[in-house]
Amino acid sequence: MTELPGHPHIAFRGADLFIEDVRLGDLATAHGTPLFVYSKAAMLAALAAYQRGFAGRRATVCYAMKANPSLAVLQLFAQAGCGFDIVSGGELERVMAAGADPAKVIFSGVGKTRAEMRRALQAGIGCFNVESESELEVLSEVASACGVTAPVSIRVNPNVDAKTHPYISTGLKGNKFGVAHEHTLQAYRRAAQLPGLTVVGIDCHIGSQITDGAPYLDAMDRVLELVAAIEAAGIALHHIDFGGGLGIDYNGDRPPAADALWAQLFAKLDARGFGDRHFMVEPGRSLVGNAGVCLTEVLYLKPGEQKNFCIVDAAMNDLPRPAMYEAYHGIVPLSRRAGPSSTYDVVGPICESGDWLGRDRELSALPGDRLAVLSAGAYCMSMASNYNSRGRAAEVLVDGAKAHLIRERETVADQLRGERLLPAT
């Protein structure tokens, strides 16, 4: 058995790639391609690293469901005791449908609408992570009109550099997120005065795919300075929500493990006397990213003077991260073959040069072979689109030797539903 580094529960047994005890080639044959396949054990192992880090503490892991919002994935995390970080009314309905405890749901995002606030208040969510002073005013108004008070924390923008891709860095002054560090105390004073709000915590999220612990430690220092100042002003903070953002190994990346990172953070928290608070985290990618693969079939090989292309049936509508962030995803065959290999750009059928999944990859492949795009459990299916009128892929969740279809492949009828032709003239 050859484990793929960084991908627990995905391994070659002989020539064939397995996820847990299921041969991926069998799933591609049974369900067709493109197909997303997830390992339940890998998701629970990733969660266990956080749970180990929080052993003996008061803490809630709120899965940032934007990474992978499929109902069965939400159900798995709800049953494992997780709360959820949501960012829209749609996400709220999904977590409720999956059986989440509303008291463990926190609502993040810079642009919550009044309708979304009302629905979340009716559902009884645990906390609104408020991102601006104007949002505080609106939320207070909406809650008062509903005859309730809204539990709030304010998202601090600590102005630290998470050293990640600019599109997924959120904790710097130039970002649209959070309330500037220097305005936070004043925002808390306002929140404490507003009739429709109850202050419950403080919140911070500095970015995504963070592979270095230092920005977290810096951000924690900045947040703790504020906690001290806010409490000195007579406003109690019951929880500290430290956001998500921990990276995964896409291409030899070495992010700290969640438990090791939290051991360092707790050393700081304990030293400063804050270790007894209720902690929340909002991990997305680190819980699901390396638990999933996307299976795809080679359609054509197209040798060229400058480049060889390996054209596959998955595309940027299924896997948008390479096109959006020039992100790297490993690509391996479902069945290793002996034989000559060449260097290919692995590309999809979409009519854009940006439709690539991997560049300069050494592969031994023939039309009809199947490949696995790795690290596809987070921000792939959740960002998939119907571009080029391509239906979205099916999803399977593997549990030991069992494979459960958790989402059917989208049909043309699904795509056309809700559209109308113009009336006949």
Task: Report the interface residues with ligand LLP, using CB under 6 A.
Answer: 64, 67, 85, 108, 168, 205, 208-209, 243-246, 282-286, 321, 325, 379
Q: Can you tell me the distance from the alpha carbon of 60 to that of 332, in angstroms, rounded to the nearest whole number?
A: 36
Residue nearer to ligand LLP on the CB measure, 83 or 244? 244
Separation CA 409–CA 134 (nearest Å): 42
Q: CB 176 → ligand LLP: shortest distance, Å?
A: 11
Nearest CB to ligand LLP, comparing residues 20 and 249: 249
Could you tell me if residue 4 is left (phi over 0), alpha (psi between -120 and 50 degrees) or otherwise beta? beta
Nearest one of 131, 132, 77 to 99, comparing CA atoms: 77
**What's the rounded Cα separation, in Å, for the pair 291 and 4?**
12
Angle between helices 258-271 and 40-53 (to 10 degrees): 20
Q: Least Å distance between CB 256 and ligand LLP? A: 13
The phi, psi pair for 150, rounded to 5°, reads: -95, 130
Q: 175-206 as b/e, with b when 16 or more CB fall inside 10 Å?
A: eebbbebebbbebbebbbebebbebbbbbbbb
CB of 129 to ligand LLP, least distance (A): 7
Q: Determine the longest span between alpha carbons in the chain, in angstroms.
A: 76
Which residue, 295 or 384, has its beta carbon nearer to ligand LLP? 384
Closest CB to ligand LLP among residues 204, 226? 204
Smaller CB separation from ligand LLP, 7 or 370: 7
CB 324 to ligand LLP: min, Å: 7
* Residue 209 beta carbon to ligand LLP: minimum distance, rounded to whole angstroms: 6
Q: Which of 62, 127, 146, 351 is catalytic?
A: 351
Active-site annotation holds for 351: yes
Phi, psi of 300 (to 5 degrees): -145, 150
3-state SS assignment for residue 373: strand
124 DSSP assignment: T
Closest contact distance (angstroms) between CB of 67 and ligand LLP is 5
* Closer residue to ligand LLP in complex, CB, 169/310: 169
CB 243 within 8 A of CB 282: yes
The set of catalytic residues is 351
